[in-house]
Amino acid sequence: MPTIKTRDGTEIYYKDWGSGQPITFSHGWPLTADAWEDQMVFFASHGYRVIAHDRRGHGRSSQPWDGNEMNTYADDLAELFDKLDLKNAVMVGHSTGGGEVTRYIGRHGTKRVAKAVLVGAVPPLMLKTAANPGGLPIEVFDGIRKGVTDDRSQFFKDLTAPFYGANRDGAKVSQGLCDFFWLQGMMGGLKSMLDCIKAFSETDFTEDLKKFDVPTLIVHGDDDQIVPIGAAAHMSVKLVKGATLKVYPKAPHGLASTHKDQLNADLLAFIKG
């Protein structure tokens, strides 16, 4: 399997398909690069080079005890960019991966980046604080931690319902898609999964978003039950100069799967525009 070794010895698995302008994809928690395959096949077939990695502690990457936080996630991605010598790249991040993209730009700038896309992304801050009254209370994330600690296999199975909107009237979400989510989640390490909850919920990306200086598209479902749109996309679009917000009516958090054709078309138009 293709991997890079980071400065602390962590092996990061990645897939690298096609040729042309590079598009990188950063996945959400608790998933893997495989969550992006609907997009990767589409764009590789349209003349782009597509790269997606398994975040440390997730999927086929190694599971270090340390470094399961946003700064290191972003630095791992920067090492992948450097080792593959990616230039003029379009960065796409979903959920936690949107935080990873945001922190990458905040820490490493856009010298290798042409455009950025945040899909159902966690920035600027998920946690409710005095300065962020629209966020979710810490008890929500404590509940996630308890669910993962007590029985993460069942927790991940249950999580698929709100993640893909399967708990909504008229939803058509296959058991196969839910099983695919579960499989990806169970590939990760328990310590990494627990650490990442803190990383995606408590990291404040406000200053990182202010450093964006490339065309940016923000996509979010207005029925996102995992990362509510109000404290996420509606806030981020105010912080990223010139950003475009595209809201998908009634779309869930996992819209890269449930609305893959619409997302692929919108991404293609944005990249070509």
Q: Find the Cα–Cα–Cα–Cα dihedral 156, 62, 254, 50, rounded to 10°.
A: -160
**Is 253 tagged catalytic?**
yes
**Is 220 tagged catalytic?**
no
Determine which one of 94, 224, 236, 266 is catalytic.
224
Query: Residues 125, 204: contact at Cβ < 8 Å?
Result: yes
Pairing of strands 22-26, 216-221: unpaired
Determine which one of 192, 253, 257, 259 is catalytic.
253
- Residue type for 183, please? L
- According to DSSP, residue 136 is labeled B
**Buried b vs exposed e over 215-226: b needs ≥16 C-beta within 10 Å?**
bbbbbbbebbeb
Q: How far apart are CA 251 and CA 235, in angstroms?
A: 18
Determine which one of 26, 61, 95, 201 is catalytic.
95
Residue recorded with tokens 């196969």: 176
Alpha helices in 48-137 (DSSP H): 70-84, 96-108
Structure tokens at 225: 């039950």
Structure tokens at 111: 């010298």
- Residue type for 105, please? I
Q: Which of 113, 98, 85 is nearest to 232 (CA)?
A: 98
Does residue 30 have a cis peptide bond before it, meaning omega lies within 30 degrees of 0?
Answer: yes
The residues that are catalytic are: 95, 224, 253
